[in-house]
Amino acid sequence: MILTDYYKGVILTDSKCRFDVVECTEGYELFESLLINKRKFNVGGLSFNFVDRPAQWKEKATNKAITKGTSNITSIKRPDPTSNFGFGDIANTNDGCLIGYNPDFQKVGVVEVVIFIARGCRNDTVPLWELLKDGELDEEMAKLKLGAVTKSVTN
C-alpha cells in the first residue's frame, strides 16, 4: 500500500477554518501529537485549520494550507480546479499527502477535509496525484476509511 494513514475533519464550531477530527486510523504519530487540543472545545481531541495560504510562504502555486497554531502542516496544490482533491507534503517529514474536500465544496464551501498520508513519498507527490486522478488509489482509500476509528468529540 502507498497510503498509510487517514484523517477526516469536519467543522463543528462557529469557526469556518477549524476542522475537528471525527475519524482517523490513529497511526500517524506526528498528527497524534501536533493536532491535539489542549484547551477550549474538544480538549484531548484532534483538530487542524484549513486556511488561506499565508503570503510570506515561499510556495506560490497554492492558495490553501493546513495548519495548527503557528505550525504549517502542508500547502495544498490543486492542479485541477474542478477536482475536490489536491496534494502536498507534510512539513519537516519525508511524507506526502492527498487532501480532499466534500464533493460539493464549490457550492456549499469546504465543510469536510480528508487527509491521506503516504509515508516516504514527499518527493513523489505528483505521481501520487496522477495515481489518484486515474482511480488507482480508490481501493487503498476505501480500505483506510474502513479501518478508521470514530473519534468522540466533547464540549
Look at residue 139 in the predicted model and tell me its pLDDT.
97
Q: Where are the alpha helices (DSSP H) in the chain?
A: 29-34, 105-108, 125-133, 138-146
pLDDT tens readout for residues 24-51: 999 999 999 999 999 888 999 999 999 9
Residue 56: partners with Cβ closer than 8 Å, 6 or more residues away: none
- How many domains does the chain contain in total? 1
Is residue 53 within 8 Å of 90, Cβ to Cβ?
no
Average pLDDT of the chain is 91
Domain of 37, in residue numbers: 5-150
Domain-located, residue 64: yes
Domain-located, residue 92: yes
pLDDT band at 154 (very low <50, low <70, confident <90, very high): confident
pLDDT band at 59 (very low <50, low <70, confident <90, very high): low
Look at residue 94 in the predicted model and tell me its pLDDT.
98
Is residue 61 over pLDDT 60? no
pLDDT tens readout for residues 131-140: 999 999 999 9
Is residue 62 over pLDDT 70? no
pLDDT tens readout for residues 84-111: 999 999 999 999 999 999 999 888 889 9
Is residue 57 over pLDDT 70? no
| Length of the chain measured in residues | 155
Is residue 136 within 8 Å of 118, Cβ to Cβ?
no
Checking 36-43 for CB contacts under 8 A at 24+ apart, the result is: 41/12, 41/13, 41/155, 42/12, 42/153, 42/154, 42/155, 43/154
- At residue 98, the 3 state secondary structure works out as strand
Domain-located, residue 155: no
CA pair distance 82, 123, nearest whole angstrom: 24
